[in-house]
């Protein structure tokens, strides 16, 4: 079963470790054995946290874009409604959700259902609201996080600034020859990861060190500084 999924991930953190903006979004194509993306698209978003409830629409657009390129059997969206088809998801199913979150979802729902219907018509593929149960959503999150590291590094180099990047839940970053891997540290996900290719060799131009986010158990962060050894 070939699955396309998307997620946004990694957040800039201020001095008090509050998230201020979401850095990247990514869509992935995942196939058996469902450990890594077979194909992905990613982009920097640097979206304010306050606007993050709107990202779900953009995530579905990224799925649509990847679907056009590669095709798939099903789309997994990062909304947790037990795997219900987006076309069947009505305001009634949102009744259990508390106050503000429900308001945002109700606002997004018509747009999301319309897009899901288009995807069904154009590609014959269902969009499922499976969220936290989906491994492809997790791989999309890790892939977005890996790209967020590259985008942050680029900004650090361009602006000669320091930066603190909060990684997605339960993962750690490992630099490899060709880019950066974000390995899951969640239980039973030891072989699940996201990858971003560092084609521009940006990671050679920054130094980064890992720390624990003290205000959010299970979350790690990276602190970036321009590489002082670098002669420019």
Q: Which of 19, 24, 171, 181 binds its own copies (CB under 8 A)?
A: 171
99 vs 214, beta carbon nearer its own copies: 214
Q: Does 220 bind its own copies (CB under 8 A)?
A: yes
Which pair of tokens denotes residue 85? 């088809």
Q: Which of 48, 68, 132, 174 binds its own copies (CB under 8 A)?
A: 132
Q: Does 135 bind its own copies (CB under 8 A)?
A: yes
Which pair of tokens denotes residue 143? 């892939």
- Contact string 1-40 vs its own copies (x = CB under 8 A): x-x-----------xxx------------x-xxxx-----
- Contact string 48-77 vs its own copies (x = CB under 8 A): ----------------------------x-
112 vs 192, beta carbon nearer its own copies: 192
Q: Which of 9, 136, 145, 179 binds its own copies (CB under 8 A)?
A: 136
Q: Which of 113, 170, 205, 227 binds its own copies (CB under 8 A)?
A: 170
- CA-CA distance, 72 to 127, in Å (whole number)? 11
Which pair of tokens denotes residue 210? 């890992």
Closest CA to 27 of 76, 85, 86: 76
Give residues 185-214 in contact with its own copies (rule: CB under 8 A): 185-192, 209-214
Closest CA to 113 of 129, 99, 92: 129
Q: Work out the angle between the directed axes of helices 55-70 and 99-123 (0-180°, nearest 10).
A: 20
Q: Does 83 bind its own copies (CB under 8 A)?
A: yes
- CA-CA distance, 84 to 127, in Å (whole number)? 9
Q: Does 134 bind its own copies (CB under 8 A)?
A: yes
Closest CA to 76 of 21, 151, 149, 133: 133
88 vs 133, beta carbon nearer its own copies: 133
Q: Which residues pair with 135 in a beta bridge?
A: none
User: How far apart are CB 200 and its own copies at their closest, in Å?
Assistant: 28
Which pair of tokens denotes residue 176? 């490899």
Buried b (16+ CB within 10 A) or exposed e, 52-70: beebbebbbebbbebbeee
20-28, 127-135, 152-160, 196-204 -> range binding its own copies (CB under 8 A): 127-135
Burial class (CB in 10 A: 0-12, 13-18, 19+), 148: buried
Residues that bind its own copies (CB under 8 A): 1, 3, 15-17, 30, 32-35, 76, 83, 130, 132-136, 138, 169-172, 185-192, 209-220
């Amino acid at each position: 079963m070939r699955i396309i999924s998307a997620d946004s991930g990694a957040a800039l953190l201020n001095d008090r470790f509050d998230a201020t903006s979401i850095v990247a979004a990514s869509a992935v194509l995942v196939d058996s054995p469902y450990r890594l993306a077979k194909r992905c698209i990613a982009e920097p978003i640097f979206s304010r946290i306050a606007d993050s409830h709107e990202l779900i629409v953009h995530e579905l657009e990224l799925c649509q874009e990847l679907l056009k390129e590669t095709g798939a059997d099903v789309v997994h969206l990062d909304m947790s409604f037990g795997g219900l088809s987006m076309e069947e998801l009505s305001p009634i199913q949102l009744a259990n959700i508390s106050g503000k979150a429900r308001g945002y979802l109700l606002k997004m729902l018509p747009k999301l259902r319309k897009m899901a219907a288009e995807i069904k018509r154009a590609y014959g593929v269902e969009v499922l609201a499976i969220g936290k149960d989906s491994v492809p959503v997790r791989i999309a999150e890790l892939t977005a996080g890996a790209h967020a590291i590259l985008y942050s590094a680029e900004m650090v180099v361009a602006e000669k600034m320091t930066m603190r990047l909060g990684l997605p839940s339960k993962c750690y970053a490992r630099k490899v020859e060709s880019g950066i891997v974000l390995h899951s540290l969640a239980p039973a996900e030891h072989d699940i990861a996201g990858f971003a290719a560092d084609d521009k060799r940006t990671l050679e131009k920054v130094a980064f060190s890992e720390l624990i986010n003290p205000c959010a158990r299970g979350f790690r962060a990276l602190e970036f500084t321009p590489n002082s050894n670098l002669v420019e």
